[in-house]
Amino acid sequence: MDRKRVNERLELALRPAEKPTLEEVLEQVSTRGVLRGPVDWVFQAWATYIEYAVQKIAEAFQLSEEEKKQLFHFRDTMKRLLREAQKQAKEKLTALYKAVVEGTYRMEGNKLYAPDGTWIYVNERTAPYIPIHGISASAYFPDLLKLPLERLELLQLGWRASDEANHHDKPRMGTTQPWQVFAWATVRYGEFRIDIISVNLTREGVSVEIRIIARSWRQKLSKDEAIDLVVNHLRRGEWTPLLTTWLGDGEANRRDILRGDYKLVIVAKEPWKLGKSISMRKALAARGKEAFARLKESAGVYGVLLDLLRAHKWVNVKLATDDALRATYKQKAKKRSIDVLREAYGRNSGEMPTKQFSHAEGPRRGSGRHRDVSRFDEQQRWLCCR
C-alpha cells in the first residue's frame, strides 16, 4: 500500500464526527455486523451498543442479583477499556498521520514507523492495522440461557468450528462485531480476560478488534474435530452446531435472501468438509427456505438473545423464514431509497436543486446526518418484534 492510500485511510480515521446515536449503531449492527467510522465515533458506538445490549439482556432474562451484578460489571469493564483504547488509538493515528504528511516516516518491511516509534502494519492483502497495547481486564459474564450442558455444548461446538480459537487450552474469540462478543460469551459464560488488540483502517474509517478468552472452560477439541462433529450432527438432523458455525463463518448475503435465493454458505479453509465446495474458500452447507427454518428452530432460547442483539445474520434468518416480513422489509427499503433521492434533490417540496454538492461537501459518514432516523427506528421495531 503506497503512501497516498495510507494517508487517505488515516484521514478517514481522524475525520471529525458527531456523537453516535443508538439508531445509527443498531443500523450498522443489524445490516453488516461491524461498526466502522471515524475513530472517535466508532469507540463511542461500541460503548453505546454495550450499554444497549446489557440493558436488553437484563430485561429479557431471569437473573439473580449476583448475576445482574456480574453483567453490569462486564458492561462497565468493557466501556472503561474502550475509553482507554480510544485515547491510545487517537494518539497513534495522529502521530502516524503527521509523519506521513511531513514525510518523516520510515518503512521497515511491512511496518510504517513514525519518529516516536508508533507503527502501522501495511500490505496489499489486508487492511492496515495499528496495535493497541496494555488495554486488558478480567470480568465475569453470567449464565443467561440456563441450558443443560449437552445442549450448551452443541452451541459451543459451532463456534469452535468457526471463529473460536485456542489460547493455552482456553477458548479464545477475536471479533470486530460487537454482537458476537455477547453471542459467544453467553455460551462460554464465566470468567473472561478481555483485550482490545487493534484498530483496523478500512475504506470507511476504523473498526475495533477485541479478543476475549474464556478462563472458565478448557478447550477440548481441535478445529478439525469440531468441524467433523458439526457435519455428523447435521447428518443426524441436529442443526444447532451448524447455526453457530454459520454465525461465526457464515456468509451473510441479504440481497440473495431478499430475491429468494436461500443458501447457507460458510467460509472455510477446507470447504469440502462442510458441504459442497462452490469456491476455494466457500462451502454450500444447505440451501432452500427450509434450511433457514431449521436454523431458526434449532436456536431455541438462544434466538431470544440473537433477536435483542440485532445480529445481522439472525435478521437474515428471520427474513428468509417469514414471507410477510421479507415483503414488508423490501417495500420499506425501496421507500427509503426513493425518499433519500427526493431529499437529496429537494423534490419533497416540488423544487429542483439549486446547488450540486461535491463528495467533499457531503455529510460526514458516521455523523448521522445522511440517515433518516425515524424511518429506521420504525423498521427496527417491527423487524425485532416479528
> How confident is the prediction along the chain (386 residues), in pLDDT tens digits per residue?
678 889 999 999 999 999 999 999 999 999 999 999 999 999 999 999 999 999 999 999 999 999 999 999 999 999 999 999 999 999 999 999 999 999 999 999 999 999 999 999 998 888 999 999 999 999 999 999 999 999 999 999 999 999 999 999 999 999 999 999 999 999 999 999 999 999 999 999 999 999 999 999 999 999 999 999 999 999 999 999 999 999 999 999 999 999 999 999 999 888 899 989 999 899 999 999 999 999 999 999 999 999 999 999 999 999 999 988 888 888 887 776 556 445 545 544 444 333 333 333 334 444 443 343 334 444 444 455 45
Q: What is the pLDDT of residue 329?
A: 86
Q: What is the pLDDT of residue 339?
A: 62
| Domain residue ranges in the chain | 3-149+165-214, 223-321, 324-385
- HEC secondary structure over the chain: CCHHHHHHHHHHHCCCCCCCCHHHHHHHHHHCCCCCECHHHHHHHHHHHHHHHHHHHHHHCCCCHHHHHHHHHHHHHHHHHHHHHHHHHHHHHHHHHHHHHHCCCEEECCEEECCCCCEEECCCCCCCEEECCCCEEEEEECCCCCCCHHHHHHHHHHHHHCCCEEECCEEEEEECCHHHHHHHHHHCCEEEEEEEEEEEEECCEEEEEEEEEECCCCCCCCHHHHHHHHHHHHHCCCCHHHHHHHHHHECCCHHHHHCCCCEEEEECCCHHHCCEECCCCEEEEEECHHHHHHHHHHHCCHHHHHHHHCCHHHHHHHHHHCHHHHHHHHHHHHHHHHHHHHHHCCHHHCCCCCCCCCHHHCCCCCCCCCCCHHHHHHHHHHHHHC
